[in-house]
Every structure is written in structure tokens, then in C-alpha cells.
Structure 1
Amino acid sequence: MKKKIRSVICIMIVSMMALSACGSKSTGSNNKASEDSTVAENKENGNSAEGIFDESGVSEEGQFPIVKDRIELTVMVPSSTSIQDITTNDFTQWYEDKTNIKINWIVVPAESLTDKVNISLSSGDMPDIYLDCNITQTQQSVYGSQGAFLPLNDYIEKYGAVYKDIASQINGLNEVMTMSDGKIYALPYVEKCVHCENSSKMWVNKRWLDNLNMEIPTTVEEFENMLIAFKEQDPNGNGIADEIPMLSFEGGWHSDALSGWLSNPFVYTSPDDNYVYLNEGKIELAYMQDGWKDAMKWLNSLYKAGLYYDQSLIMNNDQARQVATAEDGTALVGCFPNGVPSAVPGDAAEQWQDYIAISPIEGEAGRYATYAPYNQINPTKFVITSACKYPEAAFRWGVEQYNKDIWFMKAFGQEGTGWVRITPGEGDIPADAVDLNTGAPSEVATFADGIGWGEEQNYCWRGIGLRCDTPDASSYRYNQYQIGDYESNMEYRLAFDTRDNMNPYNPDINMCLPPLVYDEVQATEMANSQSVILSYVKETAARFITGDLDAEADWDAYLKELEVKGVKNLKDIYQAAYDAKYK
């Protein structure tokens, strides 16, 4: 979730802007000054002298300009509602001057990006670089082996010390990026959203617990006792038996019964990985384990007892909100699974502030949070094609974007305008201001000009391009300041509840499925079977929970039907893809 801060430290910003003499935020007025500064810097470092460019005409990593003689590269990129015109964008002009590389942009409507990329690949009419074009790893493997995408291994060795350093600090990054042929065909975008790694949460009304003098539950039995108390003891205090102990809804962010939190006490469940997990390097399907059966039996018992709202398996988010609050504003829901606390009660802080994300509960399988350790790695961002005449320069044009000063300008604009340096305890900045991802003292305030992440501007690229924004490689980012507190700002609630209540229960990373890459045959077979099998799993789970099927008596028939639908072949494909890439 992007941090869309609107700074209230106007006096500090104005003074810093005056001191730094930074100009317009959306025109090209700074370009000449930036260019002069870059030229001066290059001369001071000897970058413009003869002999600093190698046989490919490219300077050393970290040195600018990248090429002595100006070149042009063609880059395909999706349109963005937050960028007025990337061809005239201030950062575009600044980076062209700094690198001495002119970009000819092919801007593709975001809604037709996949079709345009596929047409480009199949026709062979490719740009030099696909940037932010969601080139899947299966495409990287297929087209890389055919020579359409260039392997980056040699360029990484010669110009990519920064990539190697980042990869050494981020668990699994190199393994994710390396294809089964040993080659790397893309550079990743890395951005850690700590709470997104544990987004299968259970939000519980803490006010209700306090009203009933109950402790936060830590086991399956204690959780069930909490639901019973919510149903029978009038925790909202209105004298009416109108409480809904627990509900879920379909179509939200980990909002349903199979989102992981409710089934993890019985079997480790990761819906984002299609309910696949690893057991000592072997693929396991959660929905075929006895623990899945036990989870279905437990959920059915809650459903029959009126502890689990009977419309949960068929209603959507809007319908959930309609039953969550009485007309006088009284809360009616005790708990619900979701990635954020606002999903059911409402978006205003006063609506969601009573809900906290509690720790996983312990059951027969242990006490696990659903964990997505590879969530921060986007491996589809930057690919160089065989059409490129200057691959060394193209690689450096991409890899240099990991520099934190460059990517901060790329994401937020000029220092002093789009972002400012701060010191906790000075001016309007609280002494305890910390970065929510790291817990370290804040160093910068972003969106200092009041223009949010998704709002249109023309001085930076926002999320386009490469960056490394993760506490796992902290030297590549600045610690950011988030206005607000635990009671009023959802980012605080998400950050602290995740850190304190979820992180301690993350399973070993070796249990978590890394991204898999499939060959053409495997991808075709999966297209015919995976969706059918998962639809059947979800449909049958709903019938187990409601009692339309008996999870004990009908379990063998359920497993047999999975076999008929090709589950063994699907599991074999998963295993083959995992073995090819990670063993």
C-alpha cells in the first residue's frame, strides 16, 4: 500500500525550498540547472575525460554520463494516470542529460498492455527495453531461450555490483531472478510492504474484548470461546442480541474463509500460492491434507452454532458493510479476516480503530501466520531485447536507478520540493518519528508538496522504473516519515500489528513457495486444469462449511474427484517447475 502522505510541515518546507532554491515541481525549469550541475560533477570526477569509457563506449558503474557519444534507446512503457507525459517529464529530461541517452518512448495504454506486449513479442517488432511491461518469468524463460531477450549475467558481472550487493542482502532474490538455464533475463523492482507479507489477518474488536474482560485468544479453543461470548454477552452494550461474532465476505483482500488465518491452525494455507506449500523441498497441496478436512469440520461447527455469519460465503464487501453497523453507529461485528481493518466497519478512523489484528491461534498444526516473503520482489520490470544495439548502455541505464538519490527523485521529484530531509524532534516533526518499515528514525518526508502518489504531475515517474525500497537492504533507501499515530492512521495500525502480532509466527521461508516458471507445455496444461481444480476446491469448501457436504463422510469422494480433475498432474507440474529452478 503506497504511503500517500500530505505533509503538514509547511513552514519547514518553505524555508528548505528557499535554501535549496529548488524551482517548479511540474515544469522543465530545473533542467538547465540540473544539467549544469551534472556537467560540473562529471568534470570534477573526471567523467568527461578521454579514456574512462570501455570498448563498448560505456563508462564504469556509478559514473556519468553513461556514454560519451549520445545514443538513443526505444523503451516501451504503460501509460500512467499519475504522469502527465513521460516524454516531457522533468525526471525524463534530467535522466537523459545525466546519462547522455535519449529515450524514444512507446507509451501503451495500460488497459491493453498485455495484448500490445504479446503482439510485439510474436511479431518480433520489439523495443530495446520493456519497462514495467509485466514480462512474466515464463515469458522470460521462453523468449530468453529463443534469443529474443538478452541474458544479463555478463552485464551484471561488469556493471552490476549494485545488483549483486542487493541480491546478497535480500533472501531468495537471485534464486527468483535466475531461470532454469542459469541466466537472468530481467532486473527486479524491490519494494517491501511489511504488512503485505502477512496480509491474511484476523481483525478483532478490542473494545468488545475489554467490555467482557477477556484476553486476546491464543488457541483454537480460546478463539471459539471468544465468539461464544460475543454472541451471548452483549459486548456492544446496547441490550439487544444483535452481535455478529464473525463474518467473512467474497472477493476481498484475504477476506474469505480460505484466506489462511482460520485454517492455519490445522494446515498451513497460502491462498496467493494457490494453497501450495513446501515440505522439505516437496510440493504439498493444503486442500488435500487431513488438516484441511479438520479445518472444514471446525468452520462447520462455528457455522452451525451461529458464530459464523450465515451469509458470509455468498456476500460481497458492500453487503458486509451493510450489516456491520447499526443505524445509530453501533458496531455489530466481532471479528473478520482481511488485509486491512477498514474493510468491514468503514474507511473512517473512528469506524475501524477498535479493531486490532491479533496473532495467529495455535492448533494441531502449530501456530503460523501466512507469510509471503517473496512479495517484495517484482521480477517482471526491466528486460533488454535482442533489438537493442547498445545493451551495455541499456543495462546501465536501468541498474543505475537503484541508486537511492536517483530513485527518490524518480519517485518523488526534486529534493526540497517533492521530498525534504527531516530530523525527528525539530520543527513540527515528533521526536519519536520512525519509518514504519524499519522502526528507525525518520530521515525524509515525502509528498512534501501535497501531491499524492496517484495524482497527476509531470516532474517524476512515481512507480515506473527500478528501485530498491526494502529494510532488507537499508542503504538503498531513506527512512520515511508517516504522519499520524496508531489510533488515526491505518499505516501505523498495519505496521505495528504486523510487526508485533504476525511476524513472530512467520514459518521458515523454506515452507513458502517461491515464484515458479513454467515451460510452454506446462503452461498449456495448467491453463486447462488449475482453474478447474481450484474452483472445485472452493466450491466444495463452501459446502463443507455450510454442512451441505459432510467433511468426514464425503472426504474420500472429494479426493477422488480431485484425482479425476487432474490434481496429480498439476502437482507434478508444480514439482517439476520447482526442481528445475531451485534444485
Structure 2
Amino acid sequence: MQRKKWITIMLSSVMTAGLLQGCGGQEAAGGTTTGGESEAKTTDNFNPTGMPIVKEPIELTFFTGKAATNTNNFEETLVWKEYAKMSNIKVNFQLVPFESLTEKRNLALANGDYPDGFYTARMPASDLAKYGEQGVFLKLNDLIDQHAPNLKALLDKYPDLRKALTMPDGNIYSFPSFYSPEFLPMLIGTPLWIKQDWLDKLNLSEPKTTEEFYQYLKAVKETDLNGNGQMDEIPYSGTGIEPLIDQLKGAWGVGTRGLGHKFVDVDPETNKLRFFRLDPKYKEVLEYVHKLYAEGLIDKDIFTQKSSELYAKGGKDILGATINPNPKTQFNGENYFGLGALEGPHGDKLYTHIKVPMVWPGAFVITNNNKHPEATVRWIDYFFGDEGATFYFMGKEGVSYTQTPDGKLEFVDEIKNNPEGLTLDQALTKYVTWMGGSYPGYVQEKYFKGSETLPESIAVGQKAEPDRIKDLWYSFNFLQDETEFMQSTGSDIHTLIKEMEAKFITGAVPFSEWDSYVKKVENMGVDKYLKVYEAAYERYKNS
């Protein structure tokens, strides 16, 4: 163990020395230093505009996160084969399942065994700050200004995006996964769906309050709505209990700054930051969910169930309500529609299930092993413009999509109505690789045709719009000591809260113990937690 630690320190020292050695020489556009000869060769082969990006072909290798539903060979998909021809850059994608992504990404960074870049690798802001300062990730400020006109335009248009992408040292180290703030169905992502035909059979109207939602679930449990002669209907099912809480908490006026901030928001009465997970109103949210669970209205498998198991149940036509991108694309579910904000018992009505537009700050990172940073920046920036984004999400016109007379883009019938019964995501795998998310790019409704753009999803966005969060926070970036606190004490607080909330919901711990639970969490360091958050918030506001 000591020998491994010594080797790691020595490697780090050699790397740091190598970076410092070039400080007296010429500095590259991205803030890294390069030898004059290699820089000249790179510049000679580089085209600053147009295609191809480089005159003579080059190869890059990216550590790449992969969803289980995606293809196992990115290089053979239509988009990447075509882009290799266009750009003269062939990319080798080292695919790593999302399930083991964090572990393998951390290992690669720890031992220095990483390639030219990290693609769809879900790099957290804490790692961007840490490895950026160490020089492992390239500083992109100047590279973006000079060679990334598409991302630069977005940073200028959306100041909050620039704030969220800029680390505490003032530098940008990554390209994000960015959803247009105007594209609300995409920010919602996974609405709360219920079945219209079952509502009709029950002679119920669309639930508008938490009480009406409860009455619908109760009626589903008591009725053979699928007509198979069995009482096998599951009123609500999902993967984990947290998505349901995130959908409901706005009915009690908590979670007022969006899904990017799961523990702290702003109290509308005092306009001050609050740790809302201990708030009496949040306790009522948990009591409501406990009531649903205790009465058998929530799937007993909710805490351990995986997506594949949920979709298998959905395929049997037994789910009265669920949360996922869209039942139609996930398990060919019919007659589902999404709910808007539900009104709570005290008159609160806020649609809180809204993601940060910058979903992943570190969707794409360039490492100091990359010998072609300018070309790599141009390669990724293409997908942040309309032309590149249309290509990335839709593929090739006439092959994977067509354009209607009114200018709308549509996938070809083989994808929309696959003759082999494949879902939309499954049919797309030979053309594109964005399924599963976490990709670097800019998502707009006009060229993104995932489940979020289906009529049912658009309708959810329209319902949610009047009650959406008006002051949606992007992610905050923490200083090193703040990060250490959040990763130690903060993580311990998160873990305890998650464990105890599950116990309150299942009844393993009665709500009579709520006050003692609150004191225990507070004693772990909630005051310090809030001070750290306030400091990060002030930097965010004043950035």
C-alpha cells in the first residue's frame, strides 16, 4: 500500500514538473504549455474554420459512459462514421457502463491511465475544480474564445450557464450537457404519468390536488381496470421513492429552487436559505407518501426496483401511475398523460420537478494527454450549433429523418413505428448514441426528438408552465475546503436523511420520533452546511 502511494505521489510530481517546465516557454491557447516543434506540427495540420477540422487524419480516444440501452459499438453508428469522414478525426470510444462509471473514472484519474478526453463521463464539478487546478484537465477559456463559437454564443446568451461552468479559480474545464431553458418538457424529463382510460372507467376527472391524486390511486387499487379478472393493478410504481417526493414537494411549498438543490432552497416567507429537508412542511410531504405506502398504493418494490423491472410491469398494463421519460417509449404504454403541479392541503402549488438546464457540467473534458486540443475543441463545439446538433440528435436527412413541408423534423417510419416492435430508443441505436443522456451538447425542441418531444410530454410542459419555478438555480461550485466538507460531513448528512426518510415512509420509524431525528441531523453540522451553501450562493450571484 505504501509503495502504491509513493508511486502515485511520484507520478503526480513528475506530471506537475512537466507542466511547470513549460511555463517559461510558449503557452497554448488553452492555458497549457507545449513544445514549439509539436505545436507547430499541430498548427500546420489544423483548420481553424470549416471542414475537415484537420488536413491529415488523426485519432483520438475518449473514456465514454454508456447506457445499458445503447449500442456496444459507437464507432459503427451512422453519426460517428459520417463525422469521422467530415472532420478527418476518428474517435475511439472506450465504453464504460454507467453502473460502474464513477469507480472506473476515479481509478483512471488516480493512476494517470486516462486517454485524450472524457466523453459522457459525468465528471462532477468537484473533480473539474480539482483536476483542473492540477493541470490534468485543460483550461479551456481561451480555446473556447478562439475555437468554440457555438458554446461561446451560449455562454454569452445565458450568463447563469457561464457562472455554473466556471470553477472557483475562474477557469472553465469542460463542455456541458445543456438543455435550453425554454424547453420545459426537457427540464422536467420524467413527469408523473397516469392513465386516461382508467380515469374514464373510474368516472374521475384529472387530479388537480394531492387529495384527488390519492383518491385516484385508491380507486386503482380497488378496481380490476385492465379487465384480466385479477386485482393485479399497481397504483403507483417507479424506481426509488425520491422521484415521487420531488414531484409532490411543491404542493407543500418546499424545494423552491429546483432539482439541482435537493437539500437547500429559499423560504418564500423569509427569503432566506433554509435546509428544507428538516422543515415541518417537508415532514408533511413524507407523511403523505407514508400514507400512500401504508395503504398499498405504492409498489412494495419501489426502493430496490430497477428500470428494467419497472418497464416489465408496465408492459403488463398494470401501472396506474409512474414516473419515467414517457411510457410510450419506455414500455409501449398506452393512454398515459402527465400531471401538472398538484395543489397541496395549504394551497401551495409549485411545479418543482425541474432540472438544472446545465444537467452535467463535465459532459466532455480534454486531458493533458491530448496532443490536439484545438482540433478537439472544434470537434466537440460543432454539436453546440444548430447544424451539428441536428446531425447529432437526428442523424442524416433522408436516412434517419425527413423534413415536413412546414420545416419540422421527423424520424423515418423504421424508427417511429419499427416493424420489429422496437421502442424508439432501441430503433435509434444504429444511427445515434445520445440515448441514456449525459452527452455534451445543446438540446432544443426543434431538433431533439426524444420522448420529451412527444405530444404527451409537450402537454406536460404546457400544464407545468404557469406553476414552474421562476428562480431556478443552476449548480453551485465549491472551494476545495467546502468540497471536502460536503464530501465528508455533507455526505454523512445526506446518507442519514435518505435512510431515515425511507424508514419514515415504510413505517419502520414512527413520525413520533421526528423531533429527535431533526436534532440528530442538526447536531451533525447543518449550521455549517448552510454557511458553506451561503458562501457558494454569494459567489454564484456575484460571479
| TM-score in terms of structure 2 length | 0.70
CA deviation vs aligned residue, 1:111-146 (integer Å, no higher than 9, x gap):
765455444434455544333333322211112122
Which residue in 2 is equivalent to 1:107?
94
Which residue in 1 is equivalent to 2:276?
286
Which residue in 1 is equivalent to 2:63?
77
Structure 1 unaligned segments of length 5 or more: list them: 1-52, 425-440, 483-488
Letter in 2 for 1:468: Y
Which residue in 1 is equivalent to 2:331?
347
Structure 1 residues 490 and 527, CA gap change in structure 2 (3 angstroms): closer
- Deviation of 1:220 (Å): 4.0
CA deviation vs aligned residue, 1:247-305 (integer Å, no higher than 9, x gap):
45553782x5xx2233321132466643433458854332111201233444456667x
CA deviation vs aligned residue, 1:81-107 (integer Å, no higher than 9, x gap):
626463x7776565455445x557473
Quick check: 1:206–1:356 contact (8 Å CA) kept in 2?
A: yes
Quick check: 1:412–1:447 contact (8 Å CA) kept in 2?
A: no
Which residue in 2 is equivalent to 1:540?
500
Q: Please give the residue correspondences for 1:94-493 in structure 2 after superposition, counting only pairs within 5 Å.
A: 95-96=83-84, 98-100=86-88, 102-103=89-90, 105=92, 107=94, 109-110=96-97, 114-115=102-103, 117-124=105-112, 126-170=114-158, 172-190=160-178, 194-199=184-189, 201-211=191-201, 213-223=203-213, 236=225, 246-248=235-237, 251=240, 254=243, 256=244, 259-269=245-255, 273-279=261-267, 283-299=273-289, 306=295, 308=297, 311=300, 316=305, 335-339=320-324, 342=327, 347-349=331-333, 352-353=334-335, 355-363=336-344, 364=346, 366-375=348-357, 377-410=359-392, 413-423=395-405, 442-445=408-411, 453-454=425-426, 466-471=440-445, 478=447, 492=454
- Deviation of 1:174 (Å): 1.9
Quick check: 1:65–1:98 contact (8 Å CA) kept in 2?
A: yes
Structure 1 residues 153 and 244, CA gap change in structure 2 (3 angstroms): same
Structure 1 residues 465 and 302, CA gap change in structure 2 (3 angstroms): closer
Letter in 1 for 2:466: P
How high is the sequence identity, in percent, across the aligned residues? 21
Letter in 2 for 1:107: Q
Quick check: 1:199–1:338 contact (8 Å CA) kept in 2?
A: no
SS of the counterpart of 1:468? strand
Quick check: 1:108–1:116 contact (8 Å CA) kept in 2?
A: no
Which residue in 2 is equivalent to 1:18?
none
Quick check: 1:195–1:495 contact (8 Å CA) kept in 2?
A: yes
Distance 1:231 1:562 in 2: 36
CA deviation vs aligned residue, 1:524-561 (integer Å, no higher than 9, x gap):
4434344543343344334544566554x433212111
- Deviation of 1:177 (Å): 1.4
Distance 2:226 2:82 in 1: 61
SS of the counterpart of 1:260? helix
* Structure holding more helix per residue: 2
Quick check: 2:390–2:448 contact (8 Å CA) kept in 1?
A: no
- Deviation of 1:562 (Å): 0.8
Distance 1:320 1:90 in 2: 31
Distance 1:205 1:458 in 2: 32
Q: Please give the residue correspondences for 1:10-29 in structure 2 after superposition, counting only pairs within 5 Å.
A: none
Distance 2:84 2:218 in 1: 64
Quick check: 1:244–1:307 contact (8 Å CA) kept in 2?
A: no
Structure 1 residues 517 and 208, CA gap change in structure 2 (3 angstroms): same
SS of the counterpart of 2:122? coil
SS of the counterpart of 1:392? helix
**Could you say which structure has the larger radius of gyration?**
1
Distance 2:78 2:321 in 1: 45
Which residue in 2 is equivalent to 1:503?
465
Distance 2:304 2:191 in 1: 19
CA deviation vs aligned residue, 1:316-357 (integer Å, no higher than 9, x gap):
4799899999xxx996x7x535235749xx9344xx42x432
Instruction: Give the CA RMSD over aligned residues.
Output: 4.7
Q: How many residues align?
A: 481
CA deviation vs aligned residue, 1:58-83 (integer Å, no higher than 9, x gap):
87754234455x37464323376626
Distance 1:443 1:491 in 2: 11
- Deviation of 1:168 (Å): 4.1
Quick check: 2:221–2:235 contact (8 Å CA) kept in 1?
A: no
Letter in 2 for 1:286: F
Letter in 2 for 1:215: S
SS of the counterpart of 1:181? coil
Structure 1 residues 286 and 267, CA gap change in structure 2 (3 angstroms): farther
Structure 1 residues 365 and 95, CA gap change in structure 2 (3 angstroms): same
Distance 1:443 1:278 in 2: 40
CA deviation vs aligned residue, 1:199-225 (integer Å, no higher than 9, x gap):
564434434543454433333454456
Which deviates further from its counterpart, 121-130 or 173-182?
121-130
Letter in 2 for 1:401: F
Distance 2:93 2:210 in 1: 55
Letter in 1 for 2:521: L
Distance 1:228 1:78 in 2: 44
Quick check: 1:159–1:396 contact (8 Å CA) kept in 2?
A: yes
Distance 1:340 1:410 in 2: 20
Q: Please give the residue correspondences for 1:53-92 in structure 2 after superposition, counting only pairs within 5 Å.
A: 56-57=43-44, 62-67=49-54, 70=56, 72=58, 74-78=60-64, 82=71, 84=73, 86=75
| TM-score in terms of structure 1 length | 0.66
Quick check: 1:409–1:460 contact (8 Å CA) kept in 2?
A: no
Distance 2:399 2:313 in 1: 45
2:488 aligns with one of 513, 524, 528: 528
Quick check: 1:253–1:339 contact (8 Å CA) kept in 2?
A: no
Structure 1 residues 267 and 155, CA gap change in structure 2 (3 angstroms): same
Quick check: 1:253–1:338 contact (8 Å CA) kept in 2?
A: no
Quick check: 2:140–2:173 contact (8 Å CA) kept in 1?
A: yes
SS of the counterpart of 1:261? helix
